[in-house]
Amino acid sequence: MQRFGMSRREFMKTAALGGAGLALWGCKPEPDAPTAPVDSEAIVVGSGFGGAVSALRLGLKGVQTTVLERGRRWELSPNYDTFTHGINFDKRTMWLRDRVVLPFIPQGINFDIERYTGLLDVVEFSNMKVYSGAGVGGGSLVYGGMTVMPRAQEFNEIFGDLAAYSEMVPYYQRVQRMLNAVPFDQNPYFQAFKDSGYWEFTFRCAEDVETTRSVNPTLRYQYIPQAYQWDVIYKELIGEIPKSALIGELIFGNNSGAKNSLDLTYLRQAEATGKVVVHPFHKVESIGRDAEKRYTLDVSIINDRGEVVDTRTLRCKYLFLGAGSMGTSRLLLKAKREGTLKDLNDEVGKGWGSNGNGMFMRQSLPKPTGEKQATPPVIAVTDFDNPYGPVIAECAQYPLGFECNCLLYLGLGVHTKRGEYRYEPGAANDGLVLDWPDDGNEESRQGIRHMGRQLNDAAGGSFDTDKFPDEVSKEFTYHPLGGAVMGKATDKYGRVKNYDRLYVTDGAAIPGNTACSNPSWTIAAIAERNLERILAEDF
């Protein structure tokens, strides 16, 4: 599948032939990337889903916009080696860490790395590890591409009168078109992929659901839209290009250009408007407002080891916060605490949720699951009538390269408990603290465990309690949400209360849960809907 009439790699080739490629690949653009201008009409902080949607819509409206991103820009190399290969970890793997920190520890892998501005960030709070992406494209650089739309029932329960499901559908569709997210079974190479053996674990996952339906007919599986270019993966399959998506290059970056990450979709289109400039290695430390009611941002300009090489104070009329649940909440809490935006209300920091993440592994399965288990995840098991609440679980990759007779699942569910961020100057994690009850995920974990048990009982296998001692994980999330929730810290459209022209556009605005779905599609769709309103009424 191609975007904008040209595949990602073809675009790179064309640019190179035209000379522009020298600036696009194989080079060392940062930290020599230009410093952001002091004055901008609009500034967007962060270039993940909320930030990228904001940047494009502002650019198309003709608003001069500066995007500030703490991470680096990752350009595809013609040698297919931009990112680390599979699980041969190196400095590119993690954001400013000496060691790789994963949700669980596979054996025999070197975890020591050089400290560098790598891709995957993990913040270790007292009882919760929170993962996110860093770099131009934010979480899309590390995400699995799973583009899941919630059902109306769960969406309406979580969002209430903040946004009507029927109103949201066109925005979901718009995002799907932008990311070219097509379900696995609707891609033209489906049969070839099926025959290749690369997706054996996926079909085993489906087969086990069918078997389990004899005891629980409400269990189903569905192929979900995937933000990948299937034609590029097909080229990997037939040997036209080196393998990348097929061999597990996903969380730590995709070298073949198959993943439709935001740097190649929303942000590329935003930059093409000529109105938007993205500045990597610009970390926003604090925000405030000057006497002319322009927003001010204290920014550290860092090098590729994360060391501060310069500092600047930037100004703008309109400020869009898209630094993710943690980044945006931290900036707001710090501004409230230090009095630089003292009228922020007491809802700032509240409404945090893990999206009900609970990972489990089924092991000792009677049938093979395939040596490869490395392709992008494409299937979700659903149980919306689960007695503990609605649950979905996605068959994730487990790219170790040997037959393990095992399947790894990431479960998601609805939970009603919420946590709260606080800002404590001098504390670890840049002063950000998360208060989260130990049993915060319990509702969704019960539902996920119930689903796993039914699969084991009916189709064989058992929970791998070496990896997850309590059968289903509770101590990490890939899906942090909340901290500046719509309708509480902001109005229904992300306008921060008591501050004109200040907006929250990312996962911080979401009320702690995206209703039994991975969050990226909902974050982007809400951002599309909110930006439309803001651009029509505030500009």
Binding site for ligand FAE (CB under 6 A): 45-51, 68-71, 131-135, 138-139, 142-146, 251, 283-284, 322-325, 327, 478-479, 506-507, 518-521, 523
Pairing of strands 276-279, 65-68: parallel
Least separation, in Å, of the C-beta of 466 and ligand FAE? 21
Active-site choice (69, 200, 271, 394): 394
Least separation, in Å, of the C-beta of 141 and ligand FAE? 8
Least separation, in Å, of the C-beta of 428 and ligand FAE? 16
Least separation, in Å, of the C-beta of 214 and ligand FAE? 30
Least separation, in Å, of the C-beta of 56 and ligand FAE? 13
DSSP, collapsed to helix, strand or coil, labels residue 228 as: strand
**DSSP string spanning 307-367?**
-EEEEEEEEEEEEEE-SHHHHHHHHHHHHHHHTTTTT--TTTTEEEB-TT-EEEEEES-SS
| Cβ proximity to ligand FAE, 347 vs 453, nearer residue | 347
> Where do we find the tokens 């996110």?
132
Q: Distance (Å, rounded) from C-alpha 384 to C-alpha 148? A: 14
CB 86 within 8 Å of CB 80: no
End-to-end CA distance of the chain: 36
Burial class (CB in 10 A: 0-12, 13-18, 19+), 160: exposed
Going 339 to 480 to 86 to 429, the CA torsion angle's sign is: positive
Active-site choice (30, 450, 479, 528): 479
Q: Distance (Å, rounded) from C-alpha 163 to C-alpha 90? A: 43
Q: Distance (Å, rounded) from C-alpha 313 to C-alpha 298? A: 5
394 is catalytic: yes
Least separation, in Å, of the C-beta of 34 and ligand FAE? 16
Q: Distance (Å, rounded) from C-alpha 33 to C-alpha 277? A: 11
75 token code pair: 């350009």
H-helix or E-strand containing 410? strand 407-413
Q: Which of 225, 224, 228 is nearest to 205 (CA)?
A: 224
| Cβ proximity to ligand FAE, 68 vs 206, nearer residue | 68
207 is catalytic: no
- At 531, give phi and psi (nearest 5°): -60, -40
Least separation, in Å, of the C-beta of 287 and ligand FAE? 9
Q: Distance (Å, rounded) from C-alpha 491 to C-alpha 56? A: 22
Residues designated catalytic: 394, 479
